[in-house]
Amino acid sequence: MASNKKYWKSYQELENDTVVQNVANNEFVQDIPTDEFLGNKETLESSSTTRRDFLKYIGFTTAAATVAACEGPVNKSIPYVVKPNDIIAGVADWYATSMADGYDFANILVKTREGRPIQIMPNKDAKGSTTARVQASVLSLYDEKLRLKEPSKAKKKITWADAHNEIGTALTQLKEANKEVVLLTGTMASPSTDKIISEFIAAYPNVKHVVYDAISEYGAVEAFNAMYGVRALPSYKLGDAKAIVSFGADFLGDWHGGFEVEYAEGRKPENGEMSYHVQFESNMSLTGANADKRVVVKPSDQVYALLNLYKALTGTNVPSKATPVDAEIKKVAQVLKKAGKDAVVVTGINDKNAQLITLAINKVLQSEIIDTVNTIHTRQGDDMAVQQLVSNMKSGNVGGLITLNVDPAFTLPNASEFTGALDKVSLKVAMSTEFNSTVEAMDYALPISHYLESWGDTQFRAGQYGLMQPTIQLLFNTAQAQDILLKWSGSDSNYYNYLKTYWSDSVITDTSWNKVLHDGFYHTGVTDAPEAKDIDVASVASALAGSVKGSKYELSLYTTAGLGDGKQANNPWLQEFPDPITRASWDNYLSISMADANELGFKNPVRDNGAIDGNYATLKVNGVTLENVPVMIQPGQAKGSIGLSLGYGRTVGLKEEMQVGVNAYPFYKDFNNFQFDVSIEKTSGWHQFACTQVQKTIAGRHDILKVTTLKEYLTVDPKDHHHGWNKPAYVSYDHNEVEANSIDLWDEHNREMGHHFKLSIDLNTCTGCGACVVACHAENNVPVVGKKEVRIGRDMHWLRIDRYYSSEVETREDAKEQGLSRAEMYRALETEAENPEVTFQPMMCQHCNHAPCETVCPVAATTHGRQGQNQMTYNRCVGTRYCANNCPYRVRRFNWFNYSNNDEFDYNMNSDYGKMVLNPDVVVRSRGVMEKCSFCIQSTQATILQAKKEGRAVRTNEFSTACSSACSTGALVFGDVNNKEDAVTPLVTDKRAYGVLDYLQTKPNVIYQVKVRNTNEA
Amino acid sequence: MKSVFLHSKIKTYLLQSFTFLLLFNLSVASAQDVDEARQKEGRKLFKSLCASCHKLNGKLIGPALAGVETRRENDWLKSWIRNNAEFQKVNAEAREAAEYHPSAMTAFPQLTDQQIDDILYYTTVGEIKKEVVADTTAVAGGGKQGAPEWLIYILCAAIIVAFLMIASLLKQVNELKGNTKPEVQSNLRRDLEELWIGVKQNTFLHVTGTIFLLLITAYVGFGLLFKVGVDKGYSPLQPIAFSHKIHAGENKIECQYCHSSAKHSKHSGIPSVNVCMNCHMNIAEVAEGTEIEWDGITYGKAELDREIAKIYDAAGWDKENLEYTGKTKPIKWIRIHNLPDFAYFNHSQHVTVAGLKCQKCHGPVEEMDEMYQHSPLTMGWCIDCHRETKVDLKGNDYYKKIHDELAKKYNVEEVTIAQLGGKECGKCHY
């Protein structure tokens, strides 16, 4: 039953910590220390400033400020000399292009203003989706600190011509000496670039091309190659699946590039059925958090459990071991058998044998969910070749090394070996968009254009192509790698012409180049399914079982939604982006289960100001030691397992503020995400986390979330007074229980005239990925406040995604009520934290029609518009913060400082380049004013104006906000409910629809759809 | 003082007589030779057909045409103008002439002999310098027209001083005559003294007086403070002496020809230099006698031609060889209408949707040599207009439904902008 559930955000709440209570009860945790200052007689008396002096100072500063303000600033208006035809100052242009940075690949639309890209949105025509990182990549374009600006040799500037000459000569010499030259690139998935590289190799036969992915999916690629003869990754049609069983595959995160769009299609209870998703995992991942059933299992047992599943499905005996989850495996086997061809099993273990076993299982199931035709081409790394390269370099067999946008000197597990062996290489050329450890270690550094400045093409999947086009003039003296390689090969063509010819000749069959360039993508027919070869399961299984060496603690390495492989570590939006699970920003940490933490003595105390601290640990894995790793206790972490994310801990070239976290790459031995032989030791000191999980809690208002099961959804009346899963709120009035909406503090207005905006948020299809959070950052000029400020709850996110844990037994009081002894209570709490259910809830200004904030504003700075938007007038706000204190949803944000043009906050709003990303239609707020979500009023107004100019009514579904446009799964739907055709209109009256805290009668314009879990076991 | 006046008077006379002489000679010459009707007709044809490629003096795409009849035979010119391509086949001189410019000259077979003759007549006699007469008289009469402001002040002061002197003189005269009335004066003095004592002792008067004074001070102070940041009349010195009066007023160029983004965008847009060059490629100098008032100084032809040269400098236009050099530089205009960042204003909403004339906010731009801020651009000024202005439906389908609903609600025939929601804070502040 939904209503019995209690929700909590942090395990500290379970302990009923008084500090946490205090934090929960206060909107602003810290008081302004006036009493502290004025109440202290000693400090006042010891002050050397007398009352007279004070008045003199005040008088003088006032006079000085007045005099200084007498002369207004002179603003210049500098027009173009020759205006480009398609630019109208003040009107945005959109371009369809593709992102491909070696880790993130996406079909995107880029919004430009006066020739500057300012926002990225998914190209939904191409079924594109964006993640937080793709959204934030527009800011990395303007990263003047990290990007390479000039070609250089041994850190001294040289010209492009000199660089070409010198490198060309060196290449020719190496060719004549027949010494191997290695071109080391990430996955580019670019057919035209592949061709250019093959021509480069034809010109220099001594060149070898090695593809290196920092985060490897080599196991899956090799397994698919072994079974189907194609070096790619299979795709999965999760939308059609009835049963999905995942062994540690974070397919809503970065696994295979993510499947959130397909997954969400199968999670719509309106269809009467939903996929049943079971996740076996050790870390709490985004995918596990969304699963219908999450089974915690430590890494070694995951491998055995996978083998046991094969055993249970086929009855064949394969070498394995018993695990604590064998009972679950048996149940799952039944579910899979029942679902048959609509079932699928996936695994995130980066091991060829483990991947082969899942392919074998899917073959046994005759799964039609696994798609062997539309194979994925965005992971092509060859781990063996990379390790071979390092050993060849060490033995002095490599004459030249050319890297392209990879950073092996940082991301290789044996990075020091690599850097050491570089001495034996005579020609060292780094082509890179940004400065990094590898660029630092090489002789030549050639600056490469950012993808938003480049031409290019991408083959995402077999038959699914994307074009890349420049959306801005080159910011620095950069060039494209393809142009450089063409030059070195002796071609006089430029890459643009090359690309155009290549596409006209080899890709496009039935349309024109201009059309494809306009659309940004091109889909061709795909070839027939490859035949599956038989594999010797027995030997594969025994090799797999033999590779696992279970230990007391086992490490599971993962990537976060914020930083991924760490390429964009200097991006303040991503650093400030709170992790969807832990809600921590500006850090990575060792996640550990509560049981293990108790055993090892780790704690996460909450400080008075609402900030969380953590102990440090010394972590030793396979002989590699890392000191001062902060520890975070993670509910749902498998006992005996620890998690640590890759991508953090970079220091070379980064701004000081961004040099956060610890580098986990040295642990990434053999590119295996599971590492055994782990020892942890507690060390002294406290780490200061910037974690928002105890901040902005719901203060016991558990009915903010409504969750039901598919069975109840289909059979029970939602409004039923006793059993309903979406029953209306009741309040006490005149000592009678009445429906909350029958009484009201405010007068009702007619809202049927003109537009009336509402936003529907489907808790079922929201995966918590956070793309909307970064989209909101970009659209609304939301400032970055830095680690210190986030730590004390002063983050400025207009839109946050609350993550709730839920369980049946709660606090100490609950335990007392249930008559549990002290020991039992702790055990109960521990059990609760062992594997809680997780629900995500995007939370922003609810735009209440009866808004408590508007009532209390003494200067009427926050008012209500007829179109349903709660408007915030910054120039009117005097910063009393009454509104924030009166807001039941805790969504108002106060500008404690000036975050722009302030060296204390040296992020994107403090540099000329960084400011280029600002949206010119939204003001940059200054100190002392309150701000919050505006329902993107600049965008709704622009839509209305467009309609007015064209003399027509606003079209159906024409209104959008940044978050709704960025949402890949369609969980956020924005529109005008006075247009009956708009997609949001039926959602408002859907039987799943509810307003949060409806008993307060604030009548929000944000509507949530009850989350439905499938507990039917298929 | 006297000598200065005298000096300037002599100068004026000299100037007047000199210009009269000059004019007399000129007008004798023109009055006798020029057939004004023919010249006018020829000028009209020249401006409409020839001026895009030819100037009278100075080359453009084609050669300068002043006095062309002295260089070529009348018949030759007629054949050339009617169809130069055909003419080239039979005439060697024409072939030579065609080499002047790579692009061929347009043929004008429709022109009659009379019309061509008129054009040629115009090229021979050129412009009639009538306006010079008007201008010189204006210059000559300039001294009479406007007395400088300081003079008025000095005069006033002199009158007051004189008045006081007369008054004291009269008093003295009276005293000398012995015609004084001491009793009356002492009565008046006593009354005044009593009144003063009364005022001094009246607390009520003190309190009300103080309050009154404070109120006045507050009112004045408030009014003064409210004007801080209101830049009505702001007219900074621009890098180029560009006169809206010449462009929008005398030449009647549409505002949106140059400020073309006003109908599409939030910005009206400062025209890029290539827009200036659309016309100024052919207009390197202003007409004889053109004048503007710029920063208190009168700019004549010489100054204005120098200003046009600034455009060429920015556009990288080589006036001699009539080609772009590629060496461009931006023109750094000073922005006059500055709204604060927190106020959102969109030109297209007002220009395209509401159909407002630019002058509604920017004032009589077509009469301004030097541009200045006409309106206060305060929020009160915006709101006042939003309160009063009725929504212009103009068959705009967007307003159809909402307007009817609102008209019914407010029981009016036409809804104002404010009733439509144009007074909501969030419509302009985000």
CA atoms within 13 A of residue A611's CA, in its CB half-sphere:
18
Q: How many domains does chain A have?
A: 4
Separation of alpha carbons A878 and A890, rounded Å = 19
pLDDT band of A695, cuts 50, 70, 90: low
> What is the per-residue pLDDT for B360?
93
**Does residue A808 belong to any structural domain of this protein?**
yes
Quick check: A60 contacting B, CB < 8 Å?
A: no
Closest CA to B106 of B60, B42, B62, B57: B62
Do A856 and A1001 share a domain, yes or no?
A: yes
Task: Count A/B contacts: CB-CB distance under 8 Å.
Answer: 150
Summary mean pLDDT of chain B: 82
Whether residues A924 and B344 touch (CB distance < 8 A) is answered with no
Task: Show the 3-state SS of A751-818.
Answer: CCCCCCEEEEEECCCCCCCCHHHHHHHHHHCCCCCCHHHHHCCCCCCCCEEEEEEEECCCCHHHHHHC
Closest CA to B316 of B271, B276, B269: B276
> What is the per-residue pLDDT for A663?
95
Do A798 and A943 share a domain, yes or no?
A: yes
Model confidence at A225: pLDDT above 90: yes
Can you read off the two tokens belonging to residue B160?
Answer: 């007051």
Q: A860-864: long-range contacts (C-beta < 8 A, 24 or more apart)?
A: A861/A930, A861/B425, A862/A930, A863/B424, A863/B425, A863/B426
Collect all residues with Cβ–Cβ distance below 8 Å to B298 and sequence separation of at least 6: B291, B292
Model confidence at B27: pLDDT above 90: no
Model confidence at A548: pLDDT above 80: yes
Query: Do residues A231 and A380 make contact, with C-beta atoms less than 8 angstroms apart?
Result: yes
Model confidence at A982: pLDDT above 70: yes
Question: Distances from the Cα of B296 to the Cαs of B139, B236, B293, in angstroms?
Answer: 16, 12, 6
Q: Mutate which of B347, B425, B427 to test chain A, going by most A C-beta atoms within 10 A?
A: B425
Model confidence at A598: pLDDT above 70: yes
- Phi and psi dihedrals of A145, rounded to 5? -75, -45
Measured between CA atoms, the residue of chain B closest to residue A943 is: B398
**Does residue A477 belong to any structural domain of this protein?**
no
Q: Which neighbouring-strand residues pair with A295?
A: A280
Do A943 and A799 share a domain, yes or no?
A: yes
> What is the per-residue pLDDT for A825?
61
Separation of alpha carbons B417 and B424, rounded Å = 10
Collect all residues with Cβ–Cβ distance below 8 Å to A503 and sequence separation of at least 6: A192, A457, A467, A513, A516
Closest CA to B269 of B358, B182, B198: B358
Query: Do residues A827 and A818 make contact, with C-beta atoms less than 8 angstroms apart?
Result: no
Domain end position, chosen among A319, A353, A374 = A374
pLDDT in tens, A93-106: 999 999 999 999 99
Separation of alpha carbons A342 and A631, rounded Å = 41
pLDDT band of B258, cuts 50, 70, 90: very high
Model confidence at A819: pLDDT above 70: no
- Residue scoring higher pLDDT (A742 or A820): A742
Do A828 and A971 share a domain, yes or no?
A: yes
Task: Please state, as a whole number, how many other Cβ atoms lie within 10 Å of the Cβ of residue B132.
Answer: 17
Separation of alpha carbons A187 and A101, rounded Å = 8
Model confidence at B25: pLDDT above 80: no
Query: Do residues A929 and B330 make contact, with C-beta atoms less than 8 angstroms apart?
Result: no
Quick check: B189 contacting A, CB < 8 Å?
A: no
Nearest Cα of chain B lies from the Cα of A52 at a distance, in angstroms, of: 27
Average pLDDT over residues A861-872: 93
Summary mean pLDDT of chain A: 90
Closest CA to A434 of A141, A634, A645: A141
Query: Do residues A436 and A407 make contact, with C-beta atoms less than 8 angstroms apart?
Result: yes
Q: What is the pTM of this model?
A: 0.85
Q: What percent of chain A has pLDDT over 70?
A: 95
Closest CA to A987 of A63, A88, A268, A56: A268
Do A991 and A846 share a domain, yes or no?
A: yes
Query: Do residues A990 and A308 make contact, with C-beta atoms less than 8 angstroms apart?
Result: no
Q: Which letter does DSSP use for residue A740 in this model? A: G
**Does residue A337 belong to any structural domain of this protein?**
yes
Interface of A with B in 746-775 (CB under 8 A): 750, 752-754
pLDDT in tens, B299-324: 999 999 999 999 999 999 998 888 89
Residue A901's region, left for phi above 0, alpha for psi from -120 to 50, else beta, is left
Can you read off the two tokens belonging to residue B20?
Answer: 């009269």
Nearest to A863 among B229, B346, B425 (CB): B425
- Phi and psi dihedrals of A691, rounded to 5? -125, 130
Separation of alpha carbons B329 and B314, rounded Å = 5
Nearest to B333 among A78, A874, A951 (CB): A78
Question: Distances from the Cα of A560 to the Cαs of A210, A252, A410, in angstroms?
Answer: 26, 11, 18
Q: What does the longest C-alpha to C-alpha distance in chain B come to?
A: 117
Separation of alpha carbons A410 and A429, rounded Å = 16
Nearest Cα of chain B lies from the Cα of A865 at a distance, in angstroms, of: 6
Separation of alpha carbons B420 and A748, rounded Å = 19
Do A818 and A687 share a domain, yes or no?
A: no
Ranges A62-76, A151-165, A767-781, A855-869: which has the least confidence:
A62-76
Separation of alpha carbons A1 and A851, rounded Å = 31
Query: Do residues A283 and A556 make contact, with C-beta atoms less than 8 angstroms apart?
Result: yes
Angle subtended at Cα A770 by Cα A769 and Cα A771, rounded to the nearest 5 degrees: 100
> What is the per-residue pLDDT for A735?
86
ipTM at complex level: 0.86
Average pLDDT over residues A265-274: 90
- Phi and psi dihedrals of A631, rounded to 5? -115, 135
Ranges A296-310, A424-438, A1002-1016, B129-143: which has the least confidence:
B129-143
Collect all residues with Cβ–Cβ distance below 8 Å to A666 and sequence separation of at least 6: A413, A415, A624, A626
Task: Tell me the chain A residues in contact with residue B429 when contact means C-beta distances shorter than 8 Å.
Answer: 871, 873-876, 923
CATH number of the domain where residue A680 is located: 2.40.40.20
Do A892 and A992 share a domain, yes or no?
A: yes
Can you read off the two tokens belonging to residue A645?
Answer: 């994310």
Do A734 and A796 share a domain, yes or no?
A: yes
**Does residue A809 belong to any structural domain of this protein?**
yes
Q: Mutate which of A756, A780, A941 to test chain B, going by most B C-beta atoms within 10 A?
A: A941
Query: Do residues A774 and A136 make contact, with C-beta atoms less than 8 angstroms apart?
Result: yes
> What is the per-residue pLDDT for B4?
42
Question: Distances from the Cα of A186 to the Cαs of A673, A676, A749, in angstroms?
Answer: 19, 28, 59
**Does residue A243 belong to any structural domain of this protein?**
yes
> What is the per-residue pLDDT for A808?
58
Per-residue b or e along A38-48, where b marks 16 or more CB atoms closer than 10 Å to that residue's CB: eeeeeeeeeee
Domain end position, chosen among A58, A81, A100 = A58
**Does residue A417 belong to any structural domain of this protein?**
no
pLDDT band of A831, cuts 50, 70, 90: low
Query: Which amino acid, residue A164?
Result: H
Domain end position, chosen among A359, A374, A389 = A374
**Strand A180-185, strand A207-211: pairing:** parallel
Can you read off the two tokens belonging to residue B232?
Answer: 């009505």
Quick check: A859 contacting B, CB < 8 Å?
A: no
pLDDT in tens, A783-805: 999 999 999 889 999 999 999 98
CATH number of the domain where residue A253 is located: 3.40.228.10
> What is the per-residue pLDDT for B143?
36
- Residue scoring higher pLDDT (A470 or B14): A470
> What is the per-residue pLDDT for B181?
58
Measured between CA atoms, the residue of chain B closest to residue A756 is: B402
**Does residue A120 belong to any structural domain of this protein?**
no
Average pLDDT over residues A912-916: 94
Closest CA to A354 of A291, A286, A294, A305: A305
Task: Tell me the chain B residues in contact with residue A948 when contact means C-beta distances shorter than 8 Å.
Answer: 349, 353, 396, 398-399
Task: Please state, as a whole number, how many other Cβ atoms lie within 10 Å of the Cβ of residue A994.
Answer: 24
Ranges B51-65, B231-245, B280-294: which has the least confidence:
B51-65
> What is the per-residue pLDDT for B21?
46
In the β-sheet with A678-688, what is the strand arrangement from edge to edge?
A: A674-675, A554-558, A641-645, A590-592, A624-633, A613-621, A678-688
Do A859 and A1003 share a domain, yes or no?
A: yes
How many Å separate Cα B183 from the centre of its chain?
66
DSSP letter string, A871-888: EE-TTT-----HHHHH-T
H helical segments located in A236-373: 260-265, 286-290, 299-314, 326-339, 352-365
How many Å separate Cα B115 from the centre of its chain?
37
> What is the per-residue pLDDT for B135?
39
Whether residues A89 and B261 touch (CB distance < 8 A) is answered with yes
Whether residues A82 and B273 touch (CB distance < 8 A) is answered with yes
Separation of alpha carbons B105 and A312, rounded Å = 92
Do A711 and A687 share a domain, yes or no?
A: no
> What is the per-residue pLDDT for B184?
61
pLDDT band of B30, cuts 50, 70, 90: very low
pLDDT band of A70, cuts 50, 70, 90: low
Whether residues A81 and B332 touch (CB distance < 8 A) is answered with no
Question: Distances from the Cα of A202 to the Cαs of A180, A189, A211, A389, B241, in angstroms?
Answer: 14, 20, 18, 20, 63
Which position has the token pair 């919050």?
A932
Separation of alpha carbons A526 and A524, rounded Å = 6
- Residue scoring higher pLDDT (A75 or A16): A75
Model confidence at B337: pLDDT above 90: yes
Average pLDDT over residues B183-192: 76
Collect all residues with Cβ–Cβ distance below 8 Å to A968 and sequence separation of at least 6: A122, A129, A130, A260, A261, A264, A769, A771
**Does residue A910 belong to any structural domain of this protein?**
yes
Do A650 and A712 share a domain, yes or no?
A: no
CATH number of the domain where residue A806 is located: 3.30.70.20
Nearest Cα of chain B lies from the Cα of A898 at a distance, in angstroms, of: 15
Do A586 and A733 share a domain, yes or no?
A: no
The residue segments making up the domain with residue A54 are: 1-58
Whether residues B348 and A949 touch (CB distance < 8 A) is answered with yes
Closest CA to A457 of A974, A906, A97, A46: A97
Can you read off the two tokens belonging to residue A582?
Answer: 């832990």
Angle subtended at Cα A773 by Cα A772 and Cα A777, rounded to the nearest 5 degrees: 110
Please give the sequence-ordered ranges of beta strands (E in DSSP) within A472-571, or none if there are none.
Answer: 521-523, 554-558
Quick check: A82 contacting B, CB < 8 Å?
A: yes
Separation of alpha carbons A23 and B192, rounded Å = 75
Model confidence at A19: pLDDT above 80: no
pLDDT in tens, A731-788: 888 888 888 878 887 888 888 888 999 999 999 999 999 999 999 999 999 999 999 9
